[in-house]
A and B are shown apart, each in its own frame.
Chain A
Amino acid sequence: MKLKRNIAISDSGFVFNPSTGDSYSLNPVGLEILTLAKAQKNKDEIRQYMLDNYLLDLDTFEKDFDDFANMLDHFNLIEK
């Protein structure tokens, strides 16, 4: 999952896509994952980080991460 280069993310969970003018909001976990993606972490690294730091099981992570990634794709925020 590679975030588009020009996507801006603020500390408060606000996302802006300058090429379309669209903006988005993230909840804290969404912000955490998107920040890792912005730092070029791949899915394996993100998974490890999340399991280490959150009260979370593997199945829940997989289900939620895939859905989240689909939404990023839906909003055109990741490179194809």
Chain B
Amino acid sequence: MSKKQYERPVIQQLRTGITSKFGAAFESQALTHIDGVAVKDLIKEFGSPLFVLSERKIRENFKAANRSFKNRYPKVQFAWSYKTNYLNAICKVFHQEGSWAEVVSRFEYDKAIKNGVPPSKIIFNGPDKTDKDLELAASNHSPIHIDHFDELYRLKEIAEKLGRKIKVAIRVNMDTGVYPVWDRFGFNYENGQAWEAIQKIINSDTLDLVGLHTHIGTYMLTPNAYAVASSKLCYLAINVKKSFGKVVEYIDMGGGFASKNTLKGMYLKGVDVVPSVDEYADAITSAFLNAGFPTEDLPFLYLETGRALIDDAGFLLGSVIANKRLSDGRKATIMDFGVNIMFTSFWFDHKISPAQQSGGYTEDTVLYGPLCMNIDVLRENISLPPLNTGDQVVVHHVGAYNITQSMQFISMRPAIVLIDRNGKANVIRKLETLETLEKDELMPEYLEKIDL
């Protein structure tokens, strides 16, 4: 007689009314392959944990978003927001698709140059640009987006020093009906600050106002906020033309479209409630088209979409270290990846799937990382099939911000592979080693020798 398949015995108290009916079945389904490549094979070859990015998905996302806007508006340009994920291979995929670069620091700027982006197609944002950075960007004709008056005055001096006009835009913040308002970046619309900045630029003979920029927030769940923001910037642009006879060449609507992740505390899953790119595109392009621009003055629409283009193309593969029982009877599972490489677990209840088939019965579990810290919680409560040491899981929607914000702590940061369109896994960043970690450390001579 052949023996039966064994699964750890589980008993769970039934409670009514607290779990979302979509919960368990949704998460307990196994994900054994990514773009046709077996999760088991990936872990065998490249180790665990492992970041995996799907090139097919990135390109699909970009093409869909680009189409969505271009079908509605004639002049659209995306710029890849470097901070979202600035692995060079990833940036290059976006650049191959036609995306410019949007950067917020000198090293991101240098990276974009190294990646072959023409300087005039690198948008320089952010509050922290040094005189040297500004001089370089100005000499290169990169569009510079001014964040504050101090920067505006510094740019005027730099223009005088360089003896040439500098192309600038201002970042504008405003009330879009979504709170809190991100009013710490740029110039405020409602209190007249933005208009004041515009006047100062136009009245200077050293700065050339070519654009208006905003970034109203991130993971914005209401397309209407973009309609409001677009109308306000279009109104400013139209008034610039009216008051000064100057046509604003572009309006940059920033990023912020929500990805399909589920925000903590949200009852329904992100995939069910997050607006589609079409809905954001509708809101923005309708406002542009209805603003009252004469056709020849229609501004270019720039977009700096980050997370919505890459989050669902990124996966984190990991393995179970051990199971435990907490003092209150809850099951706890310790994984081999922690919050240091999954920073977004502080905001999102990431979907996590087992990477192997199981009996279909699930148990509630707290999912911990391996760090020796109390905050290292990946999911406070998740329904998963009984997992054993060595079993593997796939975390979904980790393509945005996790890699750029990950930090080396206690364990080495994992390797990152890109699965190309032929189903080949390419390492795009190697697993960190003790050598990478100590590369820049120096030892004062008197500490060289120890005698224990």
Contacts and interface: CB of A to CB of B under 8 A. Distances in A.
Interface of A: 15, 22-30, 32-34, 50, 52-56, 60, 64-65, 67-68, 70-72, 74-75
Shortest 5 CB-CB distances between A and B: which pairs?
A27-B361, A30-B9, A54-B6, A74-B329, A68-B9
29 contacts: A22-B13, A22-B14, A24-B12, A25-B11, A25-B12, A25-B14, A26-B10, A27-B9, A27-B10, A27-B359, A27-B363, A27-B386, A28-B7, A29-B6, A29-B7, A29-B8, A29-B9, A30-B11, A53-B3, A53-B4, A54-B5, A54-B6, A56-B6, A68-B9, A70-B325, A71-B325, A71-B329, A72-B11, A74-B329
Contacts of B4: 53-55
A24 B325 contact: no
Contact of B3 (A55, A71, A74, A75): A55
Contacts of A53: 3-4
Interface residues of B, number: 18
Nearest to B361: A27
A66 B10 CA distance: 12
Main secondary structure of the interface of A (DSSP, over half): helix
A51 to B, nearest CB: 9
B14 to A, nearest CB: 5
B119 to A, nearest CB: 61
Contacts of A68: 9-11
Given A23-B14, A27-B386, A55 B9 contact: no
Contacts, number: 69
Of residues B9, B363, B386, which shows the largest number of chain A Cβ atoms within 10 Å of its Cβ?
A: B9
A16 B126 CA distance: 60
Given A22-B14, A24-B11, A29-B9, 4 more contacts: A24-B13, A26-B9, A27-B10, A27-B386
A33 B363 CA distance: 17
Contacts of B8: 29, 64, 67
B9 A65 contact: yes
Contact of B5 (A23, A30, A33, A55): A55
A35 to B, nearest CB: 11
Contacts of B12: 24-26
Contacts of B363: 27
Given A25-B14, A67-B325, A74-B329, A33 B9 contact: yes
A68 to B, nearest CB: 4
B13 A75 contact: yes
Nearest to A16: B14
A26 B383 CA distance: 14
Contacts of B6: 29, 50, 54-56, 60
Interface string B1-39: 001111111111110000000000000000000000000
Nearest to B3: A55
A9 to B, nearest CB: 11
A71 B8 CA distance: 13
B14 A30 contact: no
Nearest to A66: B325
Contacts of B359: 27-28
A52 to B, nearest CB: 8
Contacts of A64: 8-9
Interface in B280-332: 325, 329
A70 B11 CA distance: 11
A27 B7 contact: yes
Contacts of A67: 8, 325
B365 to A, nearest CB: 13
Contacts of A55: 3-6
Nearest to A14: B14
Nearest to B360: A27
Nearest to A23: B14
Given A28-B359, A28-B361, A15 B11 contact: yes
Contacts of B14: 22-25
A30 B363 CA distance: 12
A29 B360 CA distance: 12
A65 B6 CA distance: 13
A65 B325 CA distance: 13
B16 to A, nearest CB: 9
Contacts of A70: 325
Contacts of A30: 9-11
A50 B8 CA distance: 12
A22 B11 CA distance: 12
Nearest to A13: B361
Nearest to A50: B6
A34 B9 CA distance: 9
Contacts of B7: 27-29
Contacts of B3: 52-56
